[in-house]
Copies of this chain bind each other. A is one copy, B any other.
């Protein structure tokens, strides 16, 4: 960890999957120990093989542990699939690709939750075991499943739609659980934040579930908040976001269309060079394609400088 932004504000980053994890990795490199807390979507959490799986928490955790593959958006680099091969042999569900090392995370999580630990406490324990010092907070300790309602009227848990159905069914709307509660730790982190970063994650299914939690949106309206676009040149870097924007908002995918989801609280937005648009708040154009760590650190620095310029 490099503390060259020791004058940096206390930052809370709201993150979903891969894009969020990559920006968080950049922020982790440039912010000092107590200057960053990560709040992660748990709306994708689901049961598989009887195990509690938290895809976004794992992606963030593995990324900060240096275990995430550079290309693939899930699991652990170099993992093997012996258990999955056995599942295949037995005719069990194999649509969710669980690696052998990855599986240990879900076993430890499920067993701790069954023993009465909270997801927050258990996540801290998993992080310690993986030597991730940075606080990673699940958005909630209660189940907050995101439901995809398809154009044909089916209701599917998010991972069923994304991984099992390969995001093929057209989306009519996205539903969050009513009265979902953030944890006390999340509210406390947001209240004491000097800057909230909305990571380049899907606004409907990654950031949306966090914003839907009671009280969160209200705090963001009172805080300096900067977002980063998950759309570059009209396309999503990863995942089904482009088609979701078309299906849910009836508009072509664009950075502007993402920012519109946050306009009640956004103080600044970061987009790919060339993607700027006219807004009531400042927009920073820079490189937001952050596959390599170098690019992640570059974006984190640019974002923090930009946020400082907004004060």
| CB-CB contacts below 8 Å: A69-104 with B | 80, 82-83, 86-87, 89-92, 100-101, 103-104
Instruction: Judge whether A107 is part of the interface by a CB distance below 8 angstroms.
Output: yes
Q: Is the interface of A mostly helix, strand, loop or mixed?
A: helix
A231, B107: Cα distance in complex, Å: 39
| CB-CB contacts below 8 Å: A1-49 with B | 49
Binary interface encoding of chain A residues 96-128 relative to chain B, with 1 for a CB under 8 A from any of its CBs, else 0:
000011011001101110110000000000000
CB distance from A80 to the nearest CB of B (A): 5
CB distance from A70 to the nearest CB of B (A): 20
Q: Which residues of B have CB within 8 Å of A86?
A: 100-101, 103-104
Q: Is the CB of A92 within 8 A of B114?
A: no
Count of this chain's copies in the oligomeric assembly: 2
Interface magnitude class on chain A: 20 to 34
Q: Is the CB of A103 within 8 A of B83?
A: yes
Known: A80-B82, A82-B80, A82-B82. Contact between A87 and B104, CB under 8 A?
Answer: yes
Known: A90-B104, A104-B87. Contact between A50 and B110, CB under 8 A?
Answer: yes
| CB-CB contacts below 8 Å: A107-157 with B | 107-108, 110-112, 114-115, 129-130
Question: Sorted from nearest, which 10 A-B pairs have the closest CB atoms?
Answer: A50-B111, A82-B100, A86-B104, A86-B101, A90-B129, A49-B107, A83-B100, A80-B82, A50-B110, A82-B82
Interface residues of A (CB under 8 A from B): 49-51, 80, 82-83, 86-87, 89-92, 100-101, 103-104, 107-108, 110-112, 114-115, 129-130
